[in-house]
Structure 1
């Protein structure tokens, strides 16, 4: 089955982990603006970034986006 990415769920994952955007950006050495772009759906996370973010907030990579099945 194929999927397309829907809305980014990073803000929800940050809330669940009690981690702030600033803490995440410091830990991964990313500019907060870049992470905000992901949260606001202005950019799609590259796989390496998504893996690092998922590891940092304690979730699976698939939990960072809504996934919509496509035919």
Structure 2
């Protein structure tokens, strides 16, 4: 069994904090467009970005994506 990244839940984390994409982008030192691409599934977070985002958001890295279980036979 292994895991794959499913949908990004960054927008839900931002909504919980009451932050806009622009506010989060500024805190992370990236563009709002990049954050939008993460949220829309056009890009995946690097591990470094995910660590920093989780720290800033006060959540776990695993809270940033829905994880899909992949069963191997």
* TM-score of the aligned structures, taking structure 1 as reference length: 0.94
How many Å separate the matches in 1 of 2:4 and 2:27?
29
**Local SS of the residue matching 2:41:** coil
Q: Could you tell me which residue of structure 1 aligns to residue 56 of structure 2?
A: 56
Moved over 4 A (4+): none
* Alignment deviations for residues 16-44 of structure 1 (CA, whole Å, 9 cap, x no partner): 11121111111111011111100000000
The runs of 5 or more residues in structure 1 that have no matched partner are none
Matches within 5 A, 1:18-29: 18-29=18-29
The runs of 5 or more residues in structure 2 that have no matched partner are none
Count of aligned positions: 71
Q: Could you tell me which residue of structure 2 aligns to residue 30 of structure 1?
A: 30
How many Å separate the matches in 2 of 1:29 and 1:12?
20
Give the aligned CA root-mean-square deviation in angstroms. Answer: 0.8
* TM-score of the aligned structures, taking structure 2 as reference length: 0.91
